[in-house]
Chain A
Amino acid sequence: MEKFTSEKEWSVAMRINHWAMALSIFILIVTGFYIADPFTVSRGETVGKFLMGNVRFVHILFGVFLVFLFFWRVYLAFFSRFHADWKDFFAWTNIKCTIDQIKFYLLITKKGPDYKTLYGPMQSLAYLGLMFMVFVIVITGLILMGAGYHAGFTAICYKILRPIENLMGGLAVVRYVHHLFTWFFILFIVVHMYMAFWYDAILKKGTISSMISGNIFKKLEE
């Protein structure tokens, strides 16, 4: 019989951050598409309706939530007491390992390379890309927010970010980039979810459940 041990892979903070981000991004995609392409509510009087207003409220609420989650995640990457993983985002710099990993993904070899980093080389590249995507969508989102609301923290952020708006070519371009990146998130989600399942099926280490329980299984060599 094979023996397994269970090892802690993800801290509680990391797991909460992961699922909060997943939920926020899901809600942001749905509400974002409504803002981009709203349908008309014809029934009833204007005074009794506030659908766009509510959708924008939810979008901006979870948007601000995502801003905090992003900064929390960056903080964890550098200062997590369990495992500060910022170096692991650069696993792809080991070129040989990356090529071996691609071969494994393309089913050319049956076993992937061994690596000591928390993430595999391709995985690290994908997550670095994700961090960049979140950064861009958070910045463009804060600009769009500041354009319509002129007080408090939003106004301070907007004052700092307005030159970026001008550099990008105005609010229309900012909005378009925000929309474009929404599609990058959707593409990321498809591949990310598949790869989680694939790892679970091929390596049988319990990849998916690890993000819930925090523990991953390791096969013990006899």
Chain B
Amino acid sequence: MSKLTVENVSFVYSAGTPFEVKALDGVSVNIESNRITGIIGHTGSGKSTLVQMFNGLIRPTEGKILLDGEDIWADAKKISAVRYRVGLVMQYPEYQLFEETVEADIAYGPKNMGLDDAEIAKRVLESAEFVGLGVENLKKSPFDLSGGQKRRAAIAGIMAMRPEVLVLDEPSAGLDPAGKKSIFEGIQKYAEATGAAVIIVSHSMDDMAKYCEDIIVMSHSKVAMMGKRNEIFSRGDELEAIGLGVPQMTYLVRLLAQKGIDLPQDIFTVDDAEAAIIELFGGAK
């Protein structure tokens, strides 16, 4: 059984007004534990709407969301319990920081859960460590942190609730490469340590290639493709037809193949390409 199942979900914003938008149209996906799933698609394809369904922030107009096989909307009063089990980091989460210290802000979620102080303190430290936020930052005001640090503090705030499903909406948007890397590494650490189902929304093919095993491709409010990373990236023409393209290294391999240099077809990241090219030149480093 999948951890999280989306069954034939549709959603319409501002229904019944002239501003009506169909944001999701008959979407079905399965999300598994113990792995990182990527959701990719261009702006307006419905990614954010879909992930806000996962923790019950918006209720589907049609269809069902199942967590461990149970409909999360079976009892609308218990939806807040679902929000602790499915942690959602919204886009630009640094704008949700409000406490006097980073420590207190990370503790906001666990406090709402009603955990005791010792447990909260432990989780704050652990979460800060996941995202690589040094202890010296915990007593600072969140507004004194750098952009990347703020983002990490906000992500730690969700991780501190120890969700079984961790969803991140464009966690690396607007960060420099170093900031991006540290965010993704933090997410990977959380995934490994907890065995949670982790979902990352992005529109960078290269980030997806590097960090995600399963990939869901969204286009025009629908799921266009869904499958393992290599399956998806081997369908480069279809991806390009949607307007997404393939990772840069995959593209490079294709160009090399046209010049008569054959490399394996399952190259998605710089590391893959490096290994294959070394192999080509005889293996010695």
The answer to whether A and B assemble together is no
| Residues of B that sit less than 8 Å from A by CB | none
| Residues of A that sit less than 8 Å from B by CB | none
